[in-house]
Structure 1
Amino acid sequence: MAKRITLVILVVAFLVGCIGSWFEVFDMDSYTKFLLTFSPFYLGLVASIGTNSVVEKIQEKKGQP
């Protein structure tokens, strides 16, 4: 579930930037600052998903004969 939520957050952020860049009223500098401010949060989510995947694979290998 967390993996899907993280992917949705990243896709929405990407789409807002792509669509907003076509409009003159969209302030891309402020949007970039927003993304940079929250990047540690996003990086933490991505890292936790990667770590969880590694742990699951290790546990699966230990469970196999």
Structure 2
Amino acid sequence: MRCYDCLQEERSDITGIGVCSRCGLATCESHARVRPVRVSHQNGLGAAHGTVPARRVVCHTCDTAETTP
């Protein structure tokens, strides 16, 4: 797959390394952002949180939308 943001910048030779977990578009190493995610597990009537965070990949556009106030 080719990186969607690179295609918009007319750089069609860049291969995507992942898929944005928010919008589903392919993203390359330059445009990808890897963010930690807190994982919760069902624990009786409540939830317990793991001590090691998981990770998720988001594209630059989605990352900006999520982090801009």
Same-fold status (TM-score > 0.5): no
**TM-score category by the smaller chain?**
under 0.3
Structure 1 length as normaliser, TM-score? 0.21
Structure 2 length as normaliser, TM-score? 0.21
Greater relative CO, 1 or 2 (CA 8 Å, sep 6+): 1
If you compute each CA radius of gyration, which structure gives the higher value, 1 or 2? 1
By percentage of residues, which structure has more strand? 2
